[in-house]
Amino acid sequence: MKATKDKVVTLVYSLSEETAEGTLLQKVEKDDPFEFLFGHMDVLPEFETELEGKEAGYKFSFSISKDDAYGDKQEAAVVKVPKEVFNIEDEIDQNEILKVGNVLPMVGPDEMPMEGEVTEVHDDHVVMDFNHPLAGTNLYFVGEIIDVRDATKEELEEAVQVDNLEGLEGLQ
């Protein structure tokens, strides 16, 4: 069976920065493989392009430029957030949560969920970086497709619901 729209693709891979010899960023192994529904924007479009039409047993190695992945880091995505936004009355809890390096779930101005990394903590504000962690990075994948199967009715229904919600976001 080939990796095409509405197929569930299961694979293992290692993700490195720039080349196969670059800094290892992520490793997905057979005991906990990565699975995604092909054709539903679950992965980077370029990632799907590289795997389209391939079958179980296919070994791959390819790069995705930062421009086709998460783009460059954007200075506008690094913002000062007033501490009162965090509404934590217990100072101990606030100090635990607002630590440099912590990634916090937030809600953007458009009410969409997003994550930001705490980069600085000041008396009255916190500096947070809302860039994707891999922004500014050229990606290099090496791996193997373990399985390709038909999606279940439930998987397809869930994907259609998510696709429809994503389409509605542009209407707001």
- Summarised one tens digit per residue, pLDDT across range 34-90 is 999 999 988 999 999 999 999 999 999 999 999 999 999 999 999 999 988 887 665
Region 141-168 average pLDDT: 83
The kind and range of the H/E element at 48 are helix 45-51
Q: What is the pLDDT of residue 88?
A: 62
For the chain, give the mean pLDDT.
Answer: 89
Q: Is pLDDT of 125 > 90?
A: yes
DSSP 88-135: ---HHHHHHHS-TT-EEEEE-TTS-EEEEEEEEE-SSEEEEE-S-TTT
Which has the higher per-residue pLDDT, 172 or 10?
10
C-alpha closest to that of 83 among 27, 123, 142: 123
pTM of the model: 0.79
Q: Is 53 exposed, middle or buried (0-12, 13-18, 19+ CB in 10 A)?
A: exposed
Task: Report the chain's C-alpha Rg in angstroms.
Answer: 19
Per-residue pLDDT tens digits for 81-116:
998 888 766 555 777 888 999 999 988 777 888 899
